[in-house]
Chain A
Amino acid sequence: MTPLDLLVAVVQQVVDGVFLGLFYAIVASGLALIFGVMDIINFAHGDLIMISAYFTWLLSMNLNLDPLLSMLLTLPILFLIGLGIQKGLINPVLGKEPLIQIAVTVGLGFVLQNIALGYFKAEPKGYPAPLFSGGFNLGPFVIYESKLVSAMVSLAVLILLSRFLAKTKLGLAMRAVTDDRASAMLMGINVGRVYLLTFAIGMVLIGVAAGLWMEMGQVTPYLGTSFSLVSWVAVALAGLGSIQGLIISAIIIGVAQSLGSLISPSIQMAVVYLIFFFILWFKPRGLFARR
């Protein structure tokens, strides 16, 4: 490989890594929001993305709709499902021992996996003709349409989320509860309602991640494991309290993974975790933690 070829390869991976990182940011955003506001360790996060991906696939195949367009239908329904899960499953364990919260969310994950395995079987399910399945050349670089669109949509949603948290009453209430729940209650904020809506909005973010994934890939009952790991790494790397921090941390993960695959695809995640450990060694609370 000539030096020029190597430079092209590295730049290509950096570009792909940024796109991948933005996608990872939306994948992790639901977890960050729920963990940040509600202080609950949701180990079912990846499996909720998985089941949302199946939901997207079902609608896409039955209505012959591109997964991106299916989101117009899936997101309102997932919002309602989020309300139901929070009320029925999460609310009873809020404030309880972390072990109980972990047991409930891990159990939810297993239930979702087995429902998916039982109903959809183990074969991968994908949308065969997505709108953005091609690519184009920009000089020596290849730009994949699905990754570009996914990155743009992720960025747009995350900017919206940031504005929502900064400018709206509910967003301010969420941030107040995140910073100090007791004071927020004293100030008249209905914390129970904030938790309910936080989880529902978290499910909407999960639905966006699932829809974007189905534009690029396919779903199996075990997809959730990969996304859970990446989400936790992104949230831990960013620390709590900053959407911008989450975006930057996710981009670090995406670029590390892409550059790692230049060495060998088998060790790409090892490179990610090495960088993760290295950063946490120096900044244990994360790069951008507010609390």
Chain B
Amino acid sequence: MASKRSRIPLIIAIIVVIAVIAAGLGYYYYTSKLSPTPTITPTTPKIEKVVIGIVQPLTGNYAIFGQEAVNAAKLVVDIINNELGGVRSLGGAKLDIVVEDAGTSPESARLAAEKLISQYHVPIIYGAYISRFTLAMGTVTEQNKVILVTDALVDDLSRQGWMYFFRVAPQASSHGVSAVDFVLDEAKAHNVTIRTAVIINEDSIFGTTVSNGAHLELAKKGVEVLAHISYPYDITDMSPIVDQIKRLNPDIIIAIPYFSDGVLFAKTAKAAGLNPVFIAGAGACGFTDPDSIKAAGDAVLYYTNTYSYNPAKPTDWNQKLVKEFERRYGKMPTEAAGEMFYSLFTIYEALEKAGQMFPDDPLNPDHLRQAFLSLDLSESNSIAAQLYPTGRIKFAPNGDNLYAGTAVLQVQLINGTLTPVVVWPQPQAGVQAIFPRPGT
């Protein structure tokens, strides 16, 4: 009995081995009857989608920009995936975006970038609109060799020696320069002499950089700057500043506001009867955007501001995006949306290029970098360039766009409605700049 029981495990083991051998033989017999399998050559894995990380301020004082930028991103991604068929050189890979809130400090922006890199392994991050947030984020993206395409404008960002940094939009200082050039161009065209100016700016690094650009340009062009006044952007009383400007009596005022302070300045200036030859905004915030016009009413009539984007540019793709943005979100796209339009399309075109140049490893950071640097986009060959004010996009080694430029919008009364219209460098159809301010 005992010997019989001890043999059973052995019998089971022999049966299992015979079954395995039989199965193996059977499989070999079956597959040998199929067509000869082709020799497997190494192929690159198919890329189903490319995830772009987006870091924007969605809470806090800068949420105005972030919310608009994210809306624009969703629109562009829809178009690229559904109308253009995704990134063709990557086998039709779809674009996907993951949005993180930059929060209210450089530290929170940095953490947002870290999360995108560690959790989603994004090859490209776009953001973060606010320059000091972007500076903090850039240390993370550079360290991790992630391409950073920014919508932040402060000049210093492209002087960090970063290799994986690109900026399609114009630098902050060029906004100040454009505001001055526009005013002096118009003054010359209307035989008006401009001798003196006052500059006022909100005192963040952005406002300061734009105003310094304006100050230098005024000095270069021989206009005396009577005062250069900085103030905190959350100022609740503009009357001391307006009173000071009235006493100085300059020919022109160059103003670099944020939003609320811009409305407050315009209303206070109107109440005080301040009416110089011209009041020109710079830096794309305040005065001429739809929300500032709604809040300030005719206090902002004839004010101008510089923008990194021209919503009236008459190219097919620009008009298409503007119309679709207005349909979806009920308002005209302004600075943040415009920057997202052409930057995201530039990213798309860089991915196409990377897929053509480096089919085996297109998302390698150094390959992507080379793809960005190889871009030479113009309106005839590129959607991104059709969306850009100057119609040209080509990157310098430091990542800035060699053909960066701005547009100037002015608030005019069109059919009884306060409307922002493009007046410089090429006025939109049927429009010209109103200069000087009536009543001066």
Q: How far is it, in angstroms, between the C-alpha of A144 and the C-alpha of B294 when the chains are bound?
A: 22
One of A128-136, A156-164, A235-243 at the interface: A128-136
* A133 and B267 within 8 A (CB): yes
Which among A115-123, A165-173, A197-205 touches the partner chain? A115-123
Residue among A16, A218, A222 with most chain B CB within 10 A: A218
Is the pair B271, A144 in contact by a Cβ cutoff of 8 Å? yes
Chain A residue nearest to B59 in the complex (CB) = A117
Query: By the criterion CB–CB under 8 Å, are A123 and B259 in contact?
Result: yes
Q: How far is the CA of A268 from the CA of B247 in the complex (A)?
A: 20
In the complex, chain B residues whose CB is within 8 Å of the CB of A124: 259-260, 263, 291-292, 295
The verdict on A20 contacting B237 (CB below 8 Å), with A220-B61, A266-B203 known, is yes
Q: Which of the 9-residue segments A5-13, A29-37, A177-185 touches chain B?
A: A5-13
Contact A217 B271 (CB under 8 A): no
- Size category of the B interface is 35 or more
The number of chain A residues touching the other chain, given as a range, is 35 or more
- Flag whether A86 is at the interface (Cβ < 8 A): no
Are B295 and A16 neighbours in the complex by a CB distance under 8 Å?
no
- A41-75 residues with Cβ-Cβ distance < 8 A to B are none
Given the interface pairs A124-B259, A266-B231, the reply to whether A133 lies near B271 with Cβ below 8 Å is: yes
Q: How far is the CA of A283 from the CA of B382 in the complex (A)?
A: 70
CB neighbours of A129 from chain B (8 A): 297-298
- Count the A-B residue pairs with Cβ separation under 8 angstroms: how many? 123
Interfacial chain B residues near A145, Cβ < 8 Å = 271
Q: How far is the CA of A103 from the CA of B291 in the complex (A)?
A: 34
| A101 proximity list for chain B (CB < 8 A) | none
* Contact in complex: A121, B235 (CB < 8 Å): no
What A residues does B263 contact at CB under 8 A? 124, 126, 217-218
CA separation between A223 and B64, bound complex, in Å?
A: 14
The 9 closest A-B pairs by CB, nearest first: A128-B297, A126-B295, A265-B231, A123-B291, A122-B63, A261-B240, A122-B64, A135-B271, A124-B260
Query: Can you pick out 25 interface pairs between chain A and chain B where the beta carbons lie within 8 Å of each other?
Result: A12-B243, A16-B240, A20-B237, A114-B59, A121-B67, A122-B67, A125-B294, A126-B294, A127-B295, A137-B273, A144-B272, A146-B271, A147-B239, A220-B260, A221-B63, A222-B60, A222-B61, A226-B236, A257-B237, A258-B240, A261-B241, A264-B229, A265-B231, A265-B240, A265-B241
Q: Could you list 12 further interchain pairs (A-B, Cβ under 8 angstroms) beyond the known A146-B271, A257-B237? A: A12-B243, A16-B240, A117-B59, A122-B62, A126-B267, A128-B296, A129-B297, A133-B267, A134-B271, A261-B241, A265-B230, A265-B241
